Structures are given as C-alpha cells and as structure tokens.
A and B are shown apart, each in its own frame.
Chain A
Amino acid sequence: MRHLKAWLGIGLTAATLVAAAAAPWLAPHDPLRADFAQSLRPPGTPGHLLGTDQLGRDLLARVLHGARLALFIGACTVLITAVGGGLLGLVAGFAERWPSAVLMRIADVQLSFPFILLAMTINAITGLGLRNIILSLSAAGWVVYARVVRGEVLSVKQRDYVQAAAALGMSRARVLFRHVLPNVAPSIVVVASLQFSQFIVAEAAISFLGFGVQPPTPAWGSMLSESRDFLYVAWWLAAFPGVALALTALGVNLLGDWLRDTLDPKLRV
C-alpha cells in the first residue's frame, strides 16, 4: 500500500511535469485563440478532445497550459518561502535572544489569520497579476518553514559535533552552514513538498475568487470561475480544470507523504 501510494504520487507528478513542459507541443490548439463558430462544443468533438469553452477556445489546450502556470507559481513560491523562511528560521534558532523572539511574534501574528485570506488581502491591496500572486503567497507561507527550521536548529545545535566545531574555533557562520544546515535540510525538503500542493490549490482558489491570475490567461482557478456561468449548459468547463487541479494536488501530496515517511517520520506539519 505504501509503495503503491509512492508510485502513484511519482507517476501523477511526472505526468503533470510532462504536461506542463510539453504543453505547446501536446496542445492541439492555441489556448487563447477564440473561434465563435465552435463555441461550447462537448468533449469528443473532432479536433477538440475535451470540448471548447464559451469563446470556442480548446479546453485541452487551456488545461495543459494551466498546468504550466500552476507548476510555475507553485515552484516559485516554494523556492522563495523555503529559502527565505529557512534562513530566518536558521538565524532565529541560532541567535536566540531578540531575533528569535521578534520572529516568533511575527509568526504568531501571521498564524492568527487564515492563510488564504491573508494572501487575498495582500493581492487586493497591492494589485493583481502573476508576480503579485507569487509574492503574496510567499508572504503568507514562509512562517511554516521558519518555525520548523527554528525548532530543528534548537535541537541540532546541542549535539556534540556542533559543540565540537564551535570549540575548535570555527566561525559561527561556518558552523551554521556546514554543520547545522545539512542536518536541517531534510525537514525543509519535507515541508516544501507538503506546501507545494497547498500553494497550487491556494493560487487556484484566489484566482477563482478573482484576486489572482486574470483572464484570458489559462489558469485553472480563473477557468473554474468562468465556468460557473455555464454550469447548466457545459459541465465539462467545470469538470476538467478541476480534475487536473485535484490530480496534481493528489500526486504532490502522495509524494510529500512518501518523502516525510522516508526522510523525517517524526515531523508533523
């Protein structure tokens, strides 16, 4: 069962990666090209495997290009939060006194507010668009890394090899990056993999509510939002982008579970 789940996770994630990387070649049409003569065709229409939307755009092409956008946003956000939050956590764990206290207070404040609402508020105020959604998700998401890494550093730095390195006169920065960081890295990887699907789903939800990626860019969230007006006549517009989103989230979740069981079974996120 465990291996089955791991392989399913790897398979789904690989499929999403291939879809995203090869979208321009796999997609039979331009995802933005409208063709009113072909609007709202059901799945199975010749030339349009998944059907077309209200403007006659090919749904398969839009779902495939949506994978690009979702993975791009997820990857950027995870990278920014892992590096930023990880560094802050390292510093907070190592330099205990005030940096630690200040950082943890900020983290508490941020955690006292629902993640999605925070990202959405930042977007509404700073303006919409691809760059701002990545920044707002990052601003809302770094806290988890900072807390997990700080906790790990606090325990790792009591170990003998760290004490020994410091006693031998190694500089603090060198101890931090040569001895502490490699031992904390597995936790960062596990948190990153578990956060990745959360970011993708959050981006879709924010775009769905109209605060994220704007039409006509083919993002799964905004496609689902547009599909609401056609629910009575075109179920496929609501079904396929959602299936793509759910399968991507499922694949990454399973992969994350497997990574956690392998690298860091005690971690609870």
Chain B
Amino acid sequence: MRAYVLSRLAQTALVVVLSLTAVFGMVRLSGDPVLLFMPMDIQAKDVNEFRQRLGFNDPLAVQYARFMGGAVRGDFGESLRYRSDALGLVLERLPATLLLGGTALGLTLVLAIPLGVVSAVRRDSLFDHAATVATVLGQATPGFWLGLMLIYLFSVQLRWLPTGGTGTLAHLVMPSVVLAAFFAARIARLTRSAVLEVLGEDYVLTARAKGLAETRVIAKHALRNSAIPIITLAGLEAGQLLGGAVITETIFAWPGLGRLTVQALLNRDFPVVLAAVFLISVMYTLINLAVDLLYGWLDPRVRLRA
C-alpha cells in the first residue's frame, strides 16, 4: 500500500514535470518570448535590455534548466503584470476556486445520486422518464449559456441575485449551480445505469429472497456495488470541474484560479500561466490518486500494486 502511494506520487511528479516542459516549450518556440511578454509600443533598446535581464539570450537548455530549477523551489518568476510572485498570486486565488468547486461537487452528488438511484429502482416510471429528459437536456446545455440565462432571469428580471462577484452566500448560488448542472446530469445517468446493472445480479436476488427490506437491499447491496463506476466518474469530473471553473468564474467574475488563468493568458502573463499549469496539474493528479485509493476501501477485491 505504501509502495503503491509512493510510486503514484513519483508518477505525479513525472506528469507535472512533463506538462511544465510542454508549456515551457510552447511558450519558447512560438516566437520571440520578449515580444510576447512586452507591450506593443516598446522601443528596440528596451527589448534588448529586457532580453538580457530575463535571460532570453542564453541557450534554450540553460533557460530550461533555470526554469525547472526555479519551479522545483516554487519560483516561477514575477508576474509581468502585477509585479509580484507568480505562484503567490495563483495560491491566493486557490481558496475561492476550492470553495466554488467543493460546493458544486457537493451539489452534484446530493442531486445526482438520489436521482439516478430512484430512476433505476422505478425504471420506466413517469419519474424515470422525466429524469431522463432532464439529464439529457442538462448534458446538452453549455454551462456558459446557462449562466447567461440565469443572470438574465435572476439578476436582470427578478433582481434576486447579484450578477457576479463574491462576498455573500447569494454570490455563490448561480456559479455553483451552473458548474454543477452538467456534471450532475452525467453522474445521474451513470448512477442509473450502474444501479440497473447491479439490480440484475444474483446477490440482490438473494438479499431480496432472504426477506430484507427493499430500502436495505438498495442501500447496502445495490448502491455499494455500483459505487465503483460512480466514484471513477466523479473523480474524473472533479478534475474537469477545474476546467469548468475557468468558464464559470469568468462569467460570474468569481475571483478564482480559472479567472486568473484566463486573464493571464489574455495578458500574455506567462509566469502566472506556468504557475497555474503547475498547480492545476498537481491538483488534478492528486484527485485521481485519491480516487484510486477510494477503490481499495470500497472494494476489498481491488489490490493496489505498485
């Protein structure tokens, strides 16, 4: 078990190094980085001075070594726009994204799992059909458009909720609903099919035959055994929530990691982009590791090997 976790952590490090290398390569190979970093109206002698100061006159290998050496120590350089430590800026925005993502994930699970289970248990009922329509629509509705429509309805027309920003619980409502909608639809569909599959198994028949109450059969036997695919998807989705947060945070002016990344990309503030890439790929791989460890706990047959 410990060997497994250690080897997975080593893999995480490898993945992070490779994704940083890829982004570093793209930034450096896509033209003169100084011109990318600098404003349009800069003088030629200033360009040369900057090139010298930022070390872009050195061979690529030296630049790469310097960048990686810095990255290991958490030093991605200074933000070109805010003139402060890039990783510090990114970390400062992390709590807001975790709050939004956590709320959305909670909302997703609370909505989607009961919906999926009831749909499966009452297969082909009116409830099941209504739930199917809702989840199919939910999957097809783009989050950013749903966000615009909710702003129109609840902020412009009804004036119940703020259009964006942060501070109160009311600010959290629309962003987390938008972020949760798509994932809830996917997880509800998967829960339904996973539970349906398990309900046909012999041990469910046995549990029913020995006279267990139906709620106990569902909760103890069916749900626990259909948990693996649900957890797998929820884990993958938890990672994708980070991607969804990019869009949701931008629409609702939520001061999180995603909005910062979008602004840094628009401003060509590459130290911040690289720091954000670093943090996002670390979080993503750690979430996946947590999911794999959950398997072992849920299903003792799964032996985790290095």
Contacts and interface: CB of A to CB of B under 8 A. Distances in A.
Interface string A246-265: 11011001100000000000
A120 B243 CA distance: 10
Contacts of A169: none
B246 interface: yes
Contacts of A201: 142
Q: Is the interface of B mostly helix, strand, loop or mixed?
A: helix
Interface in B143-179: 143-145, 148-149, 151-152, 156
Q: Is the interface of A mostly helix, strand, loop or mixed?
A: helix
A170 to B, nearest CB: 37
Contacts of A124: 265-266, 268, 273
Interface string A27-54: 0000000000000000000000000000
A47 B247 CA distance: 35
A197 interface: yes
A122 B273 CA distance: 12
A115 interface: yes
Interface in A216-257: 224, 227-228, 231-232, 235, 238-239, 242, 245-247, 249-250, 253-254
A105 B288 CA distance: 15
B152 A238 contact: yes
B19 A113 contact: yes
A179 interface: no
B292 to A, nearest CB: 13
Interface residues of B, number: 50
Interface stretch (A71-79, A183-191, A206-214): A206-214
Interface in B80-114: none
Contacts of A167: none
Interface of B: 11, 14-16, 18-19, 22-23, 26-27, 30, 124, 129, 132, 136-137, 139-145, 148-149, 151-152, 156, 229, 239-240, 242-244, 246-247, 250-251, 261-262, 265-266, 268, 273, 277, 280-281, 284-285, 288
Nearest 5 interchain pairs by C-beta: A114-B243, A242-B145, A250-B140, A124-B265, A249-B140
